[in-house]
Amino acid sequence: MTTISIFIEVGVMTMNKKTLLISVISLLSLTLFGCGSVYTDAKEYQDYIDKIPKADIYMPDLTTLPEYQSINVYYYERLGQSINLIITYSAESYESARDTIFGSYVYLEEPLTEIDFYRIPEVEFEYQSFTIKVVSDDDFDYPEQFGMLGYSDSSYQITFLFFYDLSLDRLSDSPGRMTRFIESEFFFPKD
């Protein structure tokens, strides 16, 4: 083996180690900071609620809901905690259920602002096929902890969303921020 071929082999081996190290660091960073854990066992719904401070004052007791076809629960832990309860109704019972549930809550009428930023930049917005409204409740600490309610007339679904992260003090004032907030802090199945 010549000196040149040994140098090339050592250089390739060093490059492979660097590439491997960079790959491992990237994967570890993505795992720790970019991805969250999603739990979907509907039987654990109450346990998920109990894990999130004040979620129990907003998230519904399943026995009090109008008769539904199915439920899906998505408890998501990332930097904060969130829960998304999606309830599917029959075509015949959906409109009545939507009116009953939505009539039971009060909603923010305008964005919540501080001196130079928005705590809640939008009070109603679209996400996938859902129209989502931010619920008004004196027990919420916006934006660290609050609930939203959404409906999808096309899929006959209602979604209850609750978010908690005490480190969050603002959401931003850029257009579409609530949609990006939903995408980063909640789990929603793809349409």
pLDDT in tens, 133-171: 999 999 999 999 999 999 999 999 999 999 999 888 777
Specify the pLDDT at position 12. 46
Long-range contacts formed by 179-184: CB under 8 A, 24+ apart: 179/125, 179/126, 179/127, 182/127, 182/132, 184/78
| pLDDT at residue 109 is higher than 80 | yes
Specify the pLDDT at position 1. 55
Specify the pLDDT at position 36. 77
The overall average pLDDT reported for the chain is: 84
pTM for this model (two decimals) = 0.80
Specify the pLDDT at position 84. 97
Would you list the DSSP string of 112-177?
Answer: EE-SSSEEES-SEEEETTEEEEEBP-TT-BTTTEEEEEEEETTTTEEEEEEEE-TT-----SSTTH
pLDDT band at 7 (very low <50, low <70, confident <90, very high): very low
- Segment 27-73, tens digit of pLDDT: 334 344 456 799 999 999 999 999 999 999 999 999 999 999 999 99
Specify the pLDDT at position 17. 56
Specify the pLDDT at position 168. 82
